[in-house]
Amino acid sequence: MAAYLCPPAVIHGEYAVETSQIVAEVRARHPHAAWAPRIDGIAASTGIETRGWMLPLETAVAPGNGGGLRAVGIGPAQKALVRDGFSEQDVDRVIAALDAIPAPQTVQERTAPAWEAVQSYGERAARGALQIAGLDAADVDCLITSHSTTPALPGLDIALANRLSLRDDVMLLPATQWACIAGTRSLALAADLVAADPERVVLVVIAEALSTTYQAADDTLESLIVRLLFADTGVAAVVTGRPRRESVLRLDAAWHHTLPGTHDLHRLETRADGTHFVMDRRGPRAVQETVTAMWEWLRLRYQDDPDSWHPDVLLAHPGGTRVLEYMEQTMPDAWPSGLLDHSRDSYTSGNRGGAAVFDILRRAYDAGQKPGSRAVLYAAAPGLTATALEGEWL
């Protein structure tokens, strides 16, 4: 396996949403929640002060276009009032008052504008990545796409094929359920594709509108945490089978791991008011198991040189600070400190899901890496599944 990666293009959500804004909105909506007295401490523990969204906070919390009564049906309500002896005039007044009660947004109201934004951000990132790589859309042989919170058919692959005017023989590989491992797993797939044909040019595009999981009516502690964590991002990068002048990282090996019986720990649920991201408190411990398995993969890969080999940078999207801390605690003592600095820096502006590793990679590239430096890329996702890659800076 040898694949060459050009620097990624990263498009951050253009609407800055402060943690203080989210706290104020949640506190006003759920003043009597069991966790309400602790909300400031919970928010501070995330380490996130602001995050970028594709749409403003006001859009996420706005009521739906239909009144509350329309959600259950005006006709049955009218019949019930007439049956109880109300006059026609009284019925009209009551119906008007009840219908003025705000209703939650529907799935369509939440998803439609986000899907438009996902396509726009994906296109901008794709054009940026091609420009960085010194290529044109006509040079692309394969397009890999991922987006997890805006289901659509046709998906992002078809949308970008049209928006970018790709050749009609381009291989389109959409992956809408990779979620947080989209960054590493798409690169692993791209590496396999160029290994089969080194002349291939693979464009990877990931666009995540994770803010669509912001569900204002939910009053669970887990829902509060979800509202505080997620950011929206579009990313893209070019992978080739031969080194280019613009190539910055050679990918040498990939590793995949899935934990059986953990499919219920993190999941998306589609309900009448949109997409809900549901988390179980056992999740971080399960993610830690994949980290331990990755250390073992690296140990076996470099068992002939265990004392001198170590990564010079670790680009990891584990989903939260607890797992970052666990990684630091369990990596070999001889490894240098600061391997996760770029991962932590990225996380301070939100969990970017599948786009995270590309964002972290871009931060590492912008900070400057010496040729020959070893890099490990890692991500874990609902499933629970993980993918890692190991390579060298050029």
Show which residues are catalytic.
Answer: 180
The span from the CA of 5 to the CA of 357, in Å, is: 13
Nearest alpha carbon to residue 212 among 196, 237, 184, 231:
231
Q: Is the peptide bond before 306 cis (omega within 30 degrees of 0)?
A: no
SS3 235: strand
Which residues partner with 389 through β-bridges? Answer: 254, 377
CA 196 distance to own-chain centroid: 29
363 Cβ partners below 8 Å, 6+ apart? 342, 345, 346
SS3 72: helix
Which residues partner with 379 through β-bridges? Answer: 317, 387
The span from the CA of 329 to the CA of 320, in Å, is: 15
The span from the CA of 11 to the CA of 13, in Å, is: 7
Assigned token pair, 332 = 């070999």
158 Cβ partners below 8 Å, 6+ apart? 172, 174
The span from the CA of 89 to the CA of 198, in Å, is: 76
Q: Is residue 301 classed exposed, middle or buried when 0-12, 13-18 and 19+ CB atoms within 10 A define those classes?
A: middle
